[in-house]
Amino acid sequence: MNIIWNGISHIDKNICKWCATPISAKNFNRLIGSSTYKAVSDLISAKIIDWEATTFWLNYNPHSSPTSSKLSKILSHQIKVVTFMLPTGSLQQRNYPKLYPTSPILCPSYRIHEDTNRHLGLCTSHQSSCITIMESHHLFLIDILTQHCITSSPVDISHNVNSCRIFQLLHYFTTYRTLSPDHPIYLLFYNYVPLELTDLFHTFINKTKLRKSLLLKFLLSLFKDFKQKIWNVHTSSLKVWESTTFKITSKSKKTYRSKFGRRSQKSPRQHVHTSNIIRYNQTRQPLDFGPPMTSRTYHHPNVNYAQHLIWAFSNFLYSGLWHHYLSYIPFDNFNYIDQFPFTSLYLSYHLFSSFCNSSSSFIFTNRVSPSSL
């Protein structure tokens, strides 16, 4: 007996693991629709980001231990970079409104535009540092590919590397004053790996394992320089401006919550009358596990809605496939599987189908291949 959810996917494993696919699809849709990704929404549609390489980079752990304070700092910075949430002047002003002025905070290096995450990748004050970084890694990349490529000559490798836009910044900045948001360097500012870069590794390195290791070696060196020579310099300039202009220190930020509290940023808490609360010592009625949302939409007389809790939260389901335990799950009728509440809570048919048909089938937390469904 095969159970098909919404006519598009077989439930062939325990429900906890199976639900990871639609949940990840919903999270992906919410991620792309987030306001923080407005800056790269056009880049996603243009298909110039290598999502597989970006995932590989973001999931990389440079330490032998799976958890550590150093790893937490690294991941914290990476998450802030890719989500445009680095602590620039605009975010500092939002998080500490009592310490900063109400007027827009200008870039500490350029002093013309507002200091935002989007401006960080376009700021002209970083052009010289960016050119220096890419020139050094231009030779580094040629050396890596030449040492491990056995099918192409060094002349061909140099020609292909030189033709990439990420290594033509000096010529680019002589023609244009500022960096364009659709330029591959703009992606590298925020730890997105452009297809233009990964195409070089796919062209000259055939073995997958070797190609990934070389790409990782290059990205480690590149993003390290971006952080040290651009972001750290920008942060230092911002801290100098804060301390000299408004006497703002790290200590004043640490004590901000205890000094000003949280109520100034939130709406007043609504008080709940005690008469509306069921007291613990009173006789309670049996819990009703009826369908959430609207009962008219999900209620069916032949469905025991309490059993979806067993599917979703029972620990014994992790020890094997779900159909091994059919004798322990007294469902009234399997033909009404699409009526269960978890289907409506996790994903609609249109969202899931659009995710499967999307060309950008990339998920940070869980890679799902539409062909495997």
Quote the pLDDT of residue 36.
66
pLDDT value for 45:
73
Looking at every residue in the chain, the average pLDDT score rounds to 75
pLDDT band at 296 (very low <50, low <70, confident <90, very high): very low
Per-residue pLDDT at 156 exceeds 90: yes
Q: pLDDT band for 22, please (50, 70, 90 cuts).
A: confident
Place of tokens 């975010």: 91
27 vs 99, more confident: 99
Question: What is the spatial distance between Cα 15 and Cα 318, in angstroms, rounded to a whole number?
Answer: 9
The answer, yes or no, to whether residue 120 has pLDDT greater than 50, is: yes
**83 vs 220: which has the higher pLDDT:** 220
28 vs 22: CA distance, rounded Å: 10
Q: Distance between CA atoms of 201 and 211, rounded to whole angstroms?
A: 6
Residue 95 to residue 335: CA distance in whole angstroms: 52
- Asked whether residue 326 carries a pLDDT value surpassing 60, the answer given is no
pTM recorded for the entire structure: 0.66
How many CB atoms are located within 10 Å of the residue 333 CB?
12
Copy the structure tokens of residue 252: 């004043």
**pLDDT score for 271:** 42
Q: How far apart are CA 343 and CA 193, in angstroms?
A: 35
Backbone angles phi, psi at 164, to 5 degrees: -75, 140
Confidence of residue 113 (pLDDT cuts 50, 70, 90): very high
Q: In the predicted model, is pLDDT for residue 147 greater than 80?
A: yes
State how far the Cα of 130 lies from the Cα of 296, in Å rounded to an integer.
60
The dihedrals phi and psi of 68, each to the nearest 5 degrees, come to -165, 160
pLDDT in tens, 34-57: 776 776 676 677 788 998 999 999
Predicted pLDDT at 21: 74
Quick one: CA dihedral 162, 167, 168, 174, positive or negative?
Answer: negative
The residues, any chain, with a CB within 8 Å of residue 16's CB and separated by 6 or more, are 311, 312, 313, 317, 318
Number of H helices, E strands in the chain: 20, 2
Per cent of the chain over pLDDT 70 is 65
* Residue that is written with structure tokens 């008219």 in the block: 296
pLDDT in tens, 173-226: 988 888 888 899 999 999 999 999 999 999 999 999 999 999 999 999 999 999
- Could you tell me if 33 and 40 are in contact, meaning their C-beta atoms sit under 8 angstroms apart? no
